Amino acid sequence: MTRFTVNGAPVHYKMDPETPLLWALRDASNLTGTKYGCGAGQCGACTVHVDGIARRSCQVAIGAIEGSFVTTIEGLTSDRSHPVQQAWVAESVPQCGYCQSGMIMAAAALLARNPNPSDAQMDEAITNLCRCGTYPRIRRAIRRAAEAGHGGRAIAAAPPPDIDPADAAAAVPALTPVHK
């Protein structure tokens, strides 16, 4: 039995302590914004914050983070207003979107510890893979979020959708099985 905090709420997982954090988040907590990509810690689609540090959740056993504070993309902000999220929209970063939650989490962790990173520091801190190759837009979005953070000014981007993520998930109709 493992206890820690996820997105501000205490959790108690009755799972094998060697269970990867990724699967505890997705399967036990239904926090599906954290994506499975490679399972080997290489792609970064599963990046979350553990005590404020960007970590690949597929490589973190839940037993190893007893007492820690975990933040997923769902917990970054409740209304999608984090400067990195708004910069992502303003710069039209997502293409397929699969890697984006991990990229956003890596960028948010970088900016939290270094509010004005150089290109080299971005490259060193964000090793996530984007199969669509949106790296120039990612870099522009990180710079834009950094600028907004310095002046505290809002980013001119589309407003967050007026849809509660829980409502969006509930609105997806169940698939009707097809019998042949």
pLDDT in tens, 119-174: 999 999 999 999 999 999 999 999 999 998 765 566 665 555 565 655 654 544 44
Instruction: State pLDDT tens for residues 82-92.
Output: 999 999 999 99
Over residues 102-129, mean pLDDT: 96
* CB 59 within 8 Å of CB 110: no
Contacts of 130 (CB under 8 A, 6+ apart): 95, 99, 103, 138
Q: What is the mean pLDDT of residues 20-31?
A: 96
Provide the whole-model pTM.
0.84
- Starting at the edge strand found earlier in the chain, the sheet holding 69-71 runs 9-13, 2-6, 69-71, 47-50, 53-56
Sign of dihedral through CA atoms 133, 43, 111, 83? positive
User: In which band, very low, low, confident or very high, does the pLDDT at 31 lie, cut at 50, 70 and 90?
Assistant: very high
In angstroms, the CA 56 to CA 40 distance is 9
Q: Which fold has domain 2-74?
A: Ubiquitin-like (UB roll) (3.10.20)
Fold of 83-151: DNA polymerase; domain 1 (1.10.150)
Closest CA to 46 of 100, 111, 86: 100
| pLDDT tens per residue, range 51-80 | 999 999 999 999 999 999 999 999 999 888
Q: How far apart are CA 131 and CA 27, in angstroms?
A: 25
Supply the pLDDT for residue 138. Answer: 96
DSSP 8-state code for residue 66? T
Domains of the chain: which residue ranges? 2-74, 83-151
